[in-house]
Chain A
């Protein structure tokens, strides 16, 4: 019998993870961050429970600084699939006027993303939460389990992770403890795009190259997505053909020069690529051991 392709193996393993977590969960949810990884994860969930709808809501932590195109894509997706969408914004942060420009990326991420996330998880008492993170994104993620235990304060303890043996996860937990579950743990960026191509999965158009208004800040191309962007005196956004390899908050996500206008172009670009994916994510570099610290505090 012919063996499955690498991509199909990854797909089948992810479906196993989705089903296992839902079967053991009391209140599952999917953290839907609107990016390509979330798109793939959602597509896999549609397959895993077919013909049932995925038996959990989508949760989006809206920092109010996402790209406009992301928000409209999010609403269209939930609508098209008829899924429950829970959108949460940290009202305290909004009240205190926390923005990436005024408070720095570190404090901003802490309050608007990590705190916002904990608020919505606590409010709904979710005990299994899917995230689209992949181990190849970042070195501390490479160390994380597929089923990652969190204590009652959502903290990750990297030095005391439960062993993960065969296909038998230990999902035993006490009240208010939870798991973050990463079905795409073993996928690479290239796998994600090859799969999007194979399965014809819709993604936010920001991934494709187009003329966009950008300014250059410390060698990074930042898109001016709305009029909240504080331009320096004499600074004027330039139109440049860029695309985004990852999508986050627009002031903290740099675009890259690219002419890839289709999924096939992107796959080709990546197969020849010489730089890694999160190099445009400014928050990964705002302190040493940056991601690990954020994760210990409860960031995805």
Chain B
């Protein structure tokens, strides 16, 4: 077998039990890529734990986790490798089960073609539609619907035509999401028996189209995006002292001592297009222009380089270029924005509501982000956008997103590399969504930040104090309002300028349109956070007294404020103590089932992990708590 000339990545997907692992395993065997010892193991295991009757159970080649083999299902994506004389393949065998959709998306994001298995006896299922939709949304333009298990239908043409028509309808519906017309093919197969995998089956003489391998050989090589505009995200800045010697001669010592000036090269992998020595380029988001003076691929200098190559560039002049910056042609720059309309695949067990904030990450770096509104959810059955106020696990939908700073980007449909992003939870670090930028939202241009003639520092200085927010959080009855009132009285007594925000002055006014659902509680806290921020801009010491049960919202408020100005005080009084106090009789009503979503009884309270202060009012008096807070403020040099 000679070295294969190019590389193609594809995935196998479809609903659970449609035969993906069997198909891939069998394809590997039929193309001569299964070593003898693995074949012996397979024969032994097939007879012992196989589910293919007397035949070889090829799925055992793929399902490598113990739990997978025990349950006979695929949990996570497996990558397998095989080559034919024509081409080398990397195949991602993805799980069909709905709960593992995020693992399927992992497989799809880097592939250029998708093999979608359809069980001929069941036809197109909701999960088939979900997978096909995710593939197309992620920019895959080649789909093969492999209609499997034809052996169980006696190789019947009529049955195949029925499923073929369903696949055709699905493909047409997917055209509105970017599948080119003619981008899909339908083939009848038997993954178990090998029919139409590599050679045309004589058991289905009525089918004279392509085999699975024909299709894989016929696809255009995935050469990255060589014809798009040039984009290089700076991944790493290589700094070396300028000297004649190579690095072997202890160049790193010279770097430390700064001798002989500094050589800087900007390393990264070209996302799209190509670049040549002498090209005029812009560095974004800063926006200055300069010239490419040198290009290296590894240690090797070259005149030009293109998409997919890991290069380092040197630029004319001394500049401040950092990781995440975008190098593009001066005459072909990407857009820069902080408000986008996006598509999201929601991957977390907790539903997404508008208002929540996350970390946004793309090849151009990261920024604090807020999902400002959920526009729609895509219905899998109809492929239509339906209005929605939340996205549940595995939902696909459209939303508006707002970043704390502007980043370069291209719409995903123009550039798969620079239009993609993920959202990360601040507290758990979980990847909660993957997303594709549709376009920027123009609103950001109209809402210019008002240039402030008088700044927050000046306003605070006039009051002779350092503003901050003292955020009291805890269960109903833990003493938030009592302590907040005492604290404000004490601070005013010291001549401080303060403001107290609590349920009485917020719920009855600014937030009287909000109820107590999870979404409304998030919005409630968001508004309070914004108001508190404006008041600190005005120079005030703000005290808030809200249950604020969710960690994510408290974290969102912390992010709104300058470092150190958010003082989180957790009143950690035990539930039984709070319930025995029950100042407004609310616990009693909640116990009787009269109040839904009552924190501590039938709605969760997420205690802070690292508050500035934790005070148990079951053990401390309100006066002692108040004193502890004032000591804390003095120690942290705010609120003074």
Which residues of A pack against B, CB within 8 Å? 1, 3-7, 9-10, 12-13, 15-16, 19-20, 22-23, 46-53, 81-82, 135-136, 138-143, 145, 158-159, 161-168, 170, 172-174, 185-186, 188, 194, 271-276, 279, 288-289, 292
Contact = CB atoms under 8 A, between A and B. Distances in A.
Contact of B38 (A1, A185, A276): A276
Nearest to B40: A275
6 contacts: A50-B238, A52-B240, A52-B251, A53-B247, A170-B424, A279-B37
Contacts of B505: none
A51 B263 contact: yes
Given A12-B310, A165-B105, 8 more contacts: A1-B223, A6-B6, A52-B239, A53-B252, A145-B106, A163-B106, A166-B434, A274-B35
Interface stretch (B158-166, B379-387, B415-423): B415-423
Interface in B39-88: 61-67, 69, 75-81, 88
Interface in B292-333: 296-299, 306, 308-310, 312, 323
Contact of B90 (A22, A139, A145, A186): A186
B318 to A, nearest CB: 18
Q: Which 7 A-B pairs have the closest CB atoms?
A: A139-B64, A47-B298, A15-B310, A3-B223, A6-B7, A172-B429, A276-B35
A168 B361 contact: yes
Given A52-B247, A163-B105, A276-B35, A170 B223 contact: no
Contacts of B323: 23
Nearest to B434: A165
B247 A163 contact: no
Contacts of A271: 1-2
Contacts of B202: none
Contact of B417 (A138, A166, A170, A279): A166
Contacts of A20: 235
Given A1-B306, A7-B3, A16 B431 contact: no
B7 A162 contact: no
B310 A16 contact: yes
A159 B67 contact: yes
B311 to A, nearest CB: 9
A52 B421 contact: no
Nearest to B306: A1
A51 B617 CA distance: 61
A158 B65 contact: yes
A82 B248 contact: yes
Contacts of A170: 361, 422, 424, 429, 431
A162 B431 contact: yes
Given A4-B309, A16-B235, A165 B78 contact: no
A167 B363 contact: yes
A163 B299 contact: no
A273 B310 CA distance: 32
Interface in B80-125: 80-81, 88, 90, 102-103, 105-106, 109-110
Chain B interface SS verdict (over half): mixed
Contacts of A136: 80-81
A167 B417 contact: yes
A46 B298 CA distance: 8
B603 interface: no
A21 to B, nearest CB: 10
Contacts of A52: 238-240, 247, 251-252, 255
Given A170-B431, A186-B81, A19 B267 contact: yes
Contacts of B422: 165, 168, 170
Interface string B183-205: 00000000000000000000000
Nearest to B88: A6
Contacts of A7: 3
Which of B4, B223, B362, B422 lies at the interface centre, i.e. has the most chain A CB atoms within 10 A of its CB? B422
Given A172-B429, A292-B64, A48 B247 contact: no
Given A82-B250, A136-B80, A50 B312 contact: yes
Contacts of A275: 35-37
Interface in B1-33: 1-7
B236 interface: yes
B126 interface: no
B132 interface: no
B223 A163 contact: no
Contacts of B81: 135-136, 186, 188
Contacts of A49: 236, 238, 267
Contacts of B90: 186
B137 interface: no
B221 interface: yes
Contact of A3 (B2, B110, B221): B221
B223 A140 contact: no
Contacts of A159: 65, 67, 75-76
Interface string B206-246: 00000000000000010100100000000110111000001
Nearest to B312: A50
B347 A163 contact: yes
B299 A289 contact: no
A76 to B, nearest CB: 14
Given A12-B269, A142-B78, A168-B363, A51 B6 contact: no
A137 to B, nearest CB: 11
Contacts of A188: 81
Contacts of A81: 248
Contacts of A185: 79
Contacts of B221: 3
Nearest to B70: A289
B299 A47 contact: yes
B354 interface: no
A142 B79 contact: yes
Interface in B382-438: 416-417, 420-422, 424, 429-431, 434
B274 interface: yes
B138 to A, nearest CB: 9
A165 B77 contact: no
B441 interface: no
Contacts of A158: 65, 67, 75-76
A142 B251 contact: no
Interface string B534-551: 000000000000000000
Given A48-B298, A50-B298, A53-B247, A166 B109 contact: yes
A227 to B, nearest CB: 32
Contacts of A164: 106, 109
B73 to A, nearest CB: 12
B359 interface: yes
Contacts of B236: 19, 22-23, 49
Contact of B77 (A141, A143, A292): A143
Contacts of A82: 248, 250
A168 B420 contact: yes
B259 to A, nearest CB: 15
Contacts of A47: 298-299
A143 B420 contact: no
A142 B102 contact: no
B77 A3 contact: no
B429 A174 contact: yes
A166 B420 contact: yes
Given A6-B7, A48-B310, A161 B416 contact: no
A220 to B, nearest CB: 12
B298 A143 contact: no
Contacts of B61: 139
A240 B431 CA distance: 53
Given A48-B310, A143-B78, A167-B417, A172 B240 contact: no
